[in-house]
Amino acid sequence: MAEHNDTGKKGEEMAALFLREKGVTILETNWRFGNLEADIIGKFDQTLILAEVKTRKSNYFGEPESFVTKQKQKNLIRAANEYIQRNNLDLEVRFDIISIVLNDYSAIRHIEDAFYPLL
C-alpha cells in the first residue's frame, strides 16, 4: 500500500477512536455509494454525523481541513442523502471535518458543523 494510503488509514482509525471517546456511535467507516465516499458516519443523540477525515504528515502546505474542497463537500452531501434514504432515517445531519497532523507533535482538530448543505 502506498505511504499516503497508510497515512490516511491511520488518520481515519484515530478519528474513529476520537469520536467514540466523545460518545459518538460509529455506524460506518469508508461507506461508499458509487464514486462517493463518507469516511465516517456516526450517530450522537438524534444527530447523524458525517465526518471527512484529512490527515497530513505536516501542515507545511496548509492545515489538512483546508483541503476539503467545495466539490468534496457536495459529494459528501450527496452521499449523506443516499445513506439517509437507504436507511430510512429521520435525524438531524451534521457535517464535520477531523483534521489530523501526524508528526512529532501529532494533533487532532475536530471541526463540528464544518459546512452546511445549500438549500
pTM: 0.90
Which residue do the cell numbers 497508510 mark? 6
d(CA 108, CA 27): 21
Strand partners, 26: 42
Please report the pLDDT score of residue 104 as a whole number: 75
Grid cell locating 40: 465516517
pLDDT-above-70 percentage for the chain = 95
Please report the pLDDT score of residue 25 as a whole number: 98
d(CA 12, CA 26): 12
**Domain extents in the chain:** 3-115
CATH fold for the domain made of 3-115: Trna Endonuclease; Chain: A, domain 1 (3.40.1350)
Strand partners, 56: 101
Is pLDDT above 90 for 105? no
Is pLDDT above 90 for 80? yes
d(CA 76, CA 90): 18
